Copies of this chain bind each other. A is one copy, B any other.
Amino acid sequence: MSPRRSAADARETRQRILDLSLGIASAEGLEGLTIGRLAAELGMSKAGLLGHFGTKEALQLAVVDEAAAVFQREVPGRVRQAPSGLRHLRAVCEAWVSYLERNVLPGGCFFTAATAEFDGRRGPVRDALAGMNALWRRDLRIHIRRAVSFGELPPDTDVDQLIYDLLGVMLALNHFLQLERDPAAPHRARRSLDRLLGGR
């Protein structure tokens, strides 16, 4: 009918590109994204695809944003109703485990993969990844501080130490799920979380 594509069509195409890119990047890395491959899998031309972003680096940055949106929706977005303090912190961590357990992305946690890939480089992509990690730590910090102020965690809790340990639990979970395909890994993650956040 209409020979001219609408802005809504363009947005939809852009979203299709990002969805596919995020899946590929989680499994094979942000550098494994190539314009030619994406275009072929989506049945469009390289130029048409690149027109949505301009450069490969802009595409990578858009994928980082998309990954953050998915994570936001699947982890903190799922526990907004949880009561403030330690219960919220526990709910967020459980949603985090569940997110990895459900294999929302084919390659596991995008941020773990991309961070390991880019932490030795410089540039906007690395900076964007570091920024997302910092935002997430700030979220965790807020919940931990509240739990402390509510008396649900000991007053001498070392907040940064707890963030360190929680991240370690999640990195190990991703490792055992992705490399070993160990179905016991989520159980281990939950046990560690119970130990860190007070069993039960």
Contacts and interface: CB of A to CB of B under 8 A. Distances in A.
A26 B28 CA distance: 17
A121 B113 CA distance: 13
Nearest to A28: B120
A160 B175 contact: no
Chain A at the B interface: SS class:
helix
Contact of A119 (B115, B120, B179, B184): B179
27 contacts: A31-B31, A31-B32, A106-B120, A107-B119, A108-B119, A108-B120, A113-B120, A116-B116, A116-B178, A119-B175, A119-B178, A120-B178, A129-B179, A130-B179, A133-B180, A160-B188, A161-B191, A164-B176, A165-B168, A165-B192, A167-B172, A167-B175, A168-B168, A168-B172, A171-B171, A171-B172, A171-B175
